[in-house]
């Protein structure tokens, strides 16, 4: 008389019934939407950043004549550039500038940053003064310093030195003084950015470390050496790499100060590239030398990064 009614068994959950492809699509959809939003910016970046690089690689193996069809020449441009008798001096001048800029221009911003960070009051004022030269347009700064470097007794620097019986000094007209004079100006003009970065790095160091060092009787130099510098190793390593890459591409200062003189003492690699492109109108040779310089800097950056990885992370 009574019929047994079977209770329906619970079926698989919706998550189980959902196909695997649908689940993967739901997980990937937010990332694809973000990629679609960023895609225009990525394409613009690739076009304006990597586009010129690829074009340079193509131009370096071509003979380019304005108004005519470019012809393939293979490695002839590289052979021509490497056999240029002016290339060794330009390379040595570039290395000399890089060495002097690191020797004098690298520790100066760090020392200024430590000095400013130790000030108890008006720190913002000295930070602004340190950064002020960066806000001066490079061409204006160079023309101003060129006036200061006037080799006669009426020059600003020579007039100051004349008070103590020194001079006149041929700042930009002597082959041995021209490059150090350019390094002095570039150090003044570019130190402000590094100073601000170092001040920010010093401000991020935990105050407990300084307090512990002070309790141990450490003075300012011991605090800097044993606390500040170890905490800033990563920043210092990165700034050193960026300075080497930047100084190896020096062009504006020697071009406007001396035009590569006197006697080729300030002719750099980028000035040689400029000479190929705009004086000899040899775009193939100019791009070939540019590719060689970029390759050397890339290899240096990779080797430097591998050598300093453990030092920066420890």
- 62 forms beta bridges with 72
What are the backbone dihedrals phi and psi of residue 216, each rounded to the nearest 5 degrees, phi first?
Answer: -80, 0
Confidence of residue 9 (pLDDT cuts 50, 70, 90): low
* Highest mean pLDDT of the ranges 59-63, 153-157, 267-271: 267-271
User: What are 16-63's pLDDT values in tens digits?
Assistant: 455 777 777 777 777 778 888 888 998 998 899 888 889 888 998 988
Across the range 142-155, mean pLDDT stands at 90
Specify the range with the lowest mean pLDDT, choosing from 136-145, 197-206, 207-216, 233-242: 207-216
User: What are 91-130's pLDDT values in tens digits?
Assistant: 999 999 999 999 988 889 998 988 888 776 777 888 888 8
Is residue 287 scored above 50 in pLDDT?
A: yes
Q: What is the pTM of this model?
A: 0.83
In degrees, rounded to 5, the angle at the alpha carbon of residue 106 between the alpha carbons of residues 102 and 112 is 160
Transcribe the chain into DSSP letters. --PPPPPPPP---HHHHS-HHHHHHHHHHHHHHHHHHHHHHHHHHIIIIIHHHHHHHHHTTEE--TTS--EE-TTHHHHHHHT-TTHHHHHHHHHHHHHHIIIIITHHHHHHHHHHHT-SS-HHHHHHHHHHHHHS-HHHHHHHHHHHT-SSTTSHHHHHHHHTT-----TTTSHHHHHHHHHHHHHHHHHHHHHHHHHHHHHTS-HHHHHHHHHTT--HHHHIIIIIHHHTHHHHHHHHHHHHHHHTT--HHHHHHTTT-STTTT--HHHHHHIIIIIS--HHHHHHHHHHHHHHHHHHHHHHHHHHHHHHH-
Across the range 140-145, mean pLDDT stands at 93
Q: Can you list the domains of the chain with their CATH numbers?
A: 20-59 (no CATH), 76-123+190-313 (1.10.3720.10)
Give pLDDT, residue 293.
Answer: 94
* Highest mean pLDDT of the ranges 163-172, 246-255, 302-311: 246-255
Give pLDDT, residue 1.
Answer: 47
Instruction: Look over the chain and give the mean of its residue pLDDT values, rounded to a whole number.
Output: 85
């Amino acid at each position: 008389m009574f019929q047994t009614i079977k209770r329906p068994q619970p079926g698989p959950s919706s998550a189980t019934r959902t196909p695997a492809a649908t689940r993967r699509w739901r997980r990937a959809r937010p990332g694809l939407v973000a990629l679609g939003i960023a895609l225009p910016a990525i394409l613009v970046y690739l076009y304006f950043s990597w586009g010129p690089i690829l074009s340079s690689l193509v131009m370096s193996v071509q003979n380019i004549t304005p108004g005519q069809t470019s012809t393939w020449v293979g490695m002839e441009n590289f052979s021509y550039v490497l056999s240029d008798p002016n290339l060794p001096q330009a390379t040595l001048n570039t290395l000399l500038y890089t060495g002097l800029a690191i020797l004098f221009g690298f520790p100066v911003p760090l020392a200024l940053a430590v000095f400013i960070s130790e000030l108890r009051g008006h720190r913002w004022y000295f930070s602004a003064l340190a950064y002020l030269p960066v806000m001066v347009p490079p061409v204006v700064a160079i023309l101003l310093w060129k006036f200061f470097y006037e080799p006669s007794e009426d020059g600003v620097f020579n007039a100051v030195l004349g008070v103590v019986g020194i001079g006149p000094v041929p700042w930009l007209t002597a082959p041995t003084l021209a490059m150090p004079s350019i390094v002095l100006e570039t150090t003044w003009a570019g130190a402000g950015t590094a100073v601000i970065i170092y001040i920010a790095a010093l401000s991020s160091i935990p105050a407990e470390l300084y307090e512990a060092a002070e309790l141990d009787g450490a003075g300012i130099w011991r605090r800097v050496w044993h606390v500040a510098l170890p905490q800033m190793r990563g920043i210092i390593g990165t700034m050193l790499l960026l300075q080497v890459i930047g100084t190896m591409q020096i062009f504006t200062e020697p071009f406007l100060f001396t035009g590569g003189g006197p006697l080729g003492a300030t002719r750099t690699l980028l000035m040689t590239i400029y000479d190929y492109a705009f004086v000899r109108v040899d775009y193939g040779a100019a791009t070939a030398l540019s590719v060689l310089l970029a390759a050397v800097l890339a290899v240096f950056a990779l080797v430097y990064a591998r050598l300093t990885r453990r030092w920066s992370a420890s």
